[in-house]
């Protein structure tokens, strides 16, 4: 499969809300003096949480130290650590998001950037409905590695997987070595690939990355009525000016 040729896939928009996996109000015990709960509260307590309408898998790939784990943890737990702990093999976290009335259980696979784990991580590409390919805007070599990661995608991922290229560490603007235009230009060459810059540290565009990906994945699924998805507009934080020649083409989240 070669994604580097052919027409661009259409980019849907998405208006959405999200919520982390949390204790349901239904799990709280009823208070009050009576040891016997009222029929209404007893009904509430027994009610199981609404099951997810969809279960989706998303994988995060990219070179060592670009911030894959940080993006995942920022999205799932709203935490950030300055410590550099290399992922060994793969790790995952789950977050449930709500998108236009649909409950989606998102399983996010965080892969090791070190090449020696490629034989392990490649096994997780096939089932991913969405792929986030990350580079570090301050480290040229991580951007130069992007074609290598594209080869992994071409080899192991489903052709239907939604792709998003992310230039992370936008908070380190002074150390930037890869311009936004370079990232956009690369994404333009790949069929249907979106592009955005983000900062796991500053929590900039992080939830947008995952929610946009989910939105795109849902758009592809037949049983979601088109009219439910057509009005979605993802609220983005303002981004730097895009040169006019690139604006109409780039699918930016």
Cβ atoms 86, 137 nearer than 8 A: no
3, 95, 201, 251: which one binds ligand GTP (CB under 6 A): 201
Radius of gyration of the chain (CA): 20
> What's the min distance (Å) between Cβ of 185 and ligand GTP?
22
Token readout for 16 is: 């959405």
Does residue 139 bind ligand GTP (CB under 6 A)?
no
Does residue 194 bind ligand GTP (CB under 6 A)?
no
Provide the mask over 112-131, with x wherever binding to ligand GTP is found by CB under 6 A and - wherever it is not: xx------------------
User: Which residue has tokens 């996010």?
Assistant: 108
> What's the min distance (Å) between Cβ of 72 and ligand GTP?
8
Closest-CA residue to 131 (of 148, 106, 109, 98): 109
Provide the mask over 29-68, with x wherever binding to ligand GTP is found by CB under 6 A and - wherever it is not: -----------------------------------xxxxx
Token readout for 78 is: 């709203």
Does residue 183 bind ligand GTP (CB under 6 A)?
no
> What's the min distance (Å) between Cβ of 132 and ligand GTP?
11
Considering only residues 204-233, where is the footprint of ligand GTP by CB under 6 A?
none
Cβ atoms 164, 134 nearer than 8 A: no
20, 38, 42, 86: which one binds ligand GTP (CB under 6 A): 86
Alpha carbons 223 and 12: distance in angstroms, whole number:
16
69 vs 232 by CB, closer to ligand GTP = 69
Cβ atoms 77, 94 nearer than 8 A: no
User: Which residue has tokens 């071409």?
Assistant: 154
Helix axes 206-220, 68-77, angle to 10 degrees: 80
37 vs 65 by CB, closer to ligand GTP = 65
Does residue 69 bind ligand GTP (CB under 6 A)?
yes
13, 90, 172, 246: which one binds ligand GTP (CB under 6 A): 172
What is the helix, strand, coil percentage profile of the chain, to 5?
Answer: 30, 20, 45
Please identify, among the stretches 29-37, 95-103, 169-177, 208-216, the one whose residues bind ligand GTP according to the rule CB under 6 A: 169-177
Bridge partners, residue 103, by sequence: 98
Which chain residues interact with ligand GTP by CB under 6 A? 64-70, 81-87, 112-113, 168-169, 171-172, 199-201
């Amino acid at each position: 499969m070669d994604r580097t040729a052919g027409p661009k896939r259409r980019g849907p928009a998405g208006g959405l809300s999200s919520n982390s996996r949390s204790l349901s109000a239904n799990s709280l015990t009823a208070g009050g003096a009576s040891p016997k709960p009222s029929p209404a509260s007893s009904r509430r307590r027994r009610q199981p949480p609404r099951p997810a309408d969809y279960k989706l898998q998303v994988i995060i790939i990219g070179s060592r130290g670009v911030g894959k784990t940080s993006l995942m943890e920022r999205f799932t737990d709203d935490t950030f650590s300055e410590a550099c702990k290399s992922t060994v093999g793969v790790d995952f976290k789950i977050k449930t998001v709500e998108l236009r009335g649909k409950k989606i259980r998102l399983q996010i696979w965080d892969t090791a950037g070190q090449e020696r784990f490629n034989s392990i991580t490649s096994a997780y590409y096939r089932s991913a409905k969405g792929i986030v390919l990350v580079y570090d805007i301050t480290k040229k070599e991580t951007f130069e590695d992007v074609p290598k990661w594209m080869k992994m995608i071409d080899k192991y991922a489903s052709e239907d997987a939604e792709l998003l290229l992310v230039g992370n560490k936008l908070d380190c603007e002074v150390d930037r070595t890869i311009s936004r235009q370079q990232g956009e230009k690369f994404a333009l060459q790949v069929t249907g690939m979106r592009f955005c810059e983000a900062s796991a540290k500053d929590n900039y565009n992080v939830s947008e990355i995952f929610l946009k990906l989910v939105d795109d994945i849902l758009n592809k699924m037949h049983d979601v009525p088109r009219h439910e998805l057509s009005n979605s507009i993802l609220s983005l934080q303002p981004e730097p000016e895009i040169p006019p020649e690139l604006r109409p083409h780039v699918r930016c989240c």
